[in-house]
Amino acid sequence: MIYLGDQFNALNEYSKVAVCWLGVKLKGRNTYNCGDSTCVFCNGNGKKRSGLDQDFRNLFTDSVIHELVTAKPIRLFQLHNILLTEYVSIPGKTVNNFKRYCKLLFVDSGYTNWFLKEKKNYWLANLLDQHTCTYCNREYIFIYKNKAGGKGMVPQFDHWFAKTDYPLLGLSFYNLIPSCATCNAIKSTTTFNLVDHLHPYVDTNISSSYMFSYLPISVTNNQLIFKNNSLFNFKGLDTVSALNLPLIYEGHSTKELQDLIDLRYKYSDNYLNILLEKTFGHLDIPKEERYRLIFGIELEEEKYHKRIFSKFKNDIIKELLSINN
C-alpha cells in the first residue's frame, strides 16, 4: 500500500463541486445555494433527489454536507454513527431505511450516475496524479480519455469503507482510493476498519510497517513473503493479507524476485552491488537515477507510486545487499 498524503489541492477542487452537488440533491436549489454566481449546480437546473424522506434530508445541515465530503476517515466513521443514531431515534425509522436512502443518494445517484457516468473519475484521477495502484503498486493506473467518447483508461476508485456497509460515505474524498481492478474487486468483499488496517490517507508510516522478503526453498526456487516490521503491531501484515497481496505477488517469485536473487548470487561476486555502485560510476549518476535505470523503480518512498514494484524491489535489494556471504 502507498501513503497518499493529504492531497489538499485535489480535495479543494473536488469539494467545491461535490458539496454543491449534494446540497442541491438534498435540499433543492431554492433552499441550498453556496453564493457563488458561477456555480453550475446552484445556478443550474439540477433537481432535488426524489424518494428520500424529509427526516432523512433534515440530518444534513450545510456543515454536515461539507464534512461528509472533506473529513478524514476517523471523522467519517464518527459521522456515520452520529447520523445513523440520530435517524433511528426518530419513531418508526430503521437502520434499513437509513441505508436505503443513503444508497439512493450517495451511491446510485452520486457515485454511479454522477461521479462515474459524468466522468468525474477521470477528473479526480487527474488531480490525484497517482501512477500505480495504491494497494498493490503492481499495476499502472494511467488516465487516457478517449476523445471519440468511447471507453478510455482510468483507475477504479475503491471505497475504503465499503459502499455496501457505509453507503453514506459513497462520495467522501478520503474514502475514494485510486486502485486497480483486481484490488478493487478483492477489497469489495473484505471489511476494513481503522484499528486493524492501514488507510492510505491516515497512516503516514505505511511503507515501514511491513516488508517484502523471501524464503529460500532451493537455489532456483524462492518464495516471496511479507514480514511484519513490528513485534507488537500487526496492522501492516494484516492489511497486506486482507488485500490478498501474498497471493497476488506469488507469481512474481519465479520472475522478478528470482532475477534479483540471481544478480546477487549467480553471476559474480555480488553483481547486484557492482550494478548499483559501479555501473555509470564514471558518469556520476545519482543513486535514485541508477535504481530507475537498472531496475525500473523509484528509490524514494514518496515516489514509489510512479513505478510498479518500487517497494517490493527496494525491500528485496536492501535485504540481498545486507547479506555478506
Burial 191-212 (b: 16+ CB within 10 A, else e): ebebeebbbbbbbeebbebbbb
Q: Is 156 helix (H, G, I), strand (E, B) or coil?
A: strand
3-state secondary structure of 308: coil
Q: Can you say how many angstroms the Cα of residue 146 is from the centroid of all Cα atoms in its chain? A: 24
Cell numbers describing residue 147? 476523445
Does 22 bind Zn ion (CB under 5 A)? Our answer is: no
By CB under 5 A, residue 186 contacts Zn ion: no
CA distances 89 to 59, 182, 256, Å, are 12, 40, 56
Closest approach of Zn ion to the CB of residue 186, in Å = 8
Nearer CB in complex with Zn ion: 101/135:
135
Report in angstroms how near the CB of residue 133 gets to Zn ion at its nearest: 3
Pick the binder of Zn ion from 104, 183, 206, 299 (CB under 5 A): 183
Among residues 28, 29, 39, 46, the one that binds Zn ion under rule CB under 5 A: 39
Does 243 bind Zn ion (CB under 5 A)? Our answer is: no
Instruction: Tell the smallest beta-carbon distance from residue 270 to Zn ion (Å).
Output: 33
Residue 17 identity (one-letter amino acid): V
Provide the minimum distance between the beta carbon of 253 and Zn ion in the complex, in angstroms, as a whole number: 18
Q: Minimum CB separation from Zn ion for residue 34, in Å?
A: 3
* Beta partners for residue 227, in sequence order: 211
Residues 203-242 within binding reach of Zn ion (CB under 5 A)? none
**Position 143, amino acid:** I
Work out how close the CB of 42 gets to Zn ion at its nearest, in angstroms, rounded to a whole number: 3
Query: Could you say which of 34, 242, 274, 294 contacts Zn ion (CB under 5 A)?
Result: 34
Give the number of residues in contact with Zn ion, rule: CB under 5 A: 10
* Beta pairing class for 221-228 and 176-179: unpaired
Give CA–CA dist 99/95, Å, rounded. Answer: 6
With binding defined as CB under 5 A, does residue 65 bind Zn ion?
Answer: no
Residues that bind Zn ion (CB under 5 A): 20, 34, 39, 41-42, 133, 135-136, 180, 183
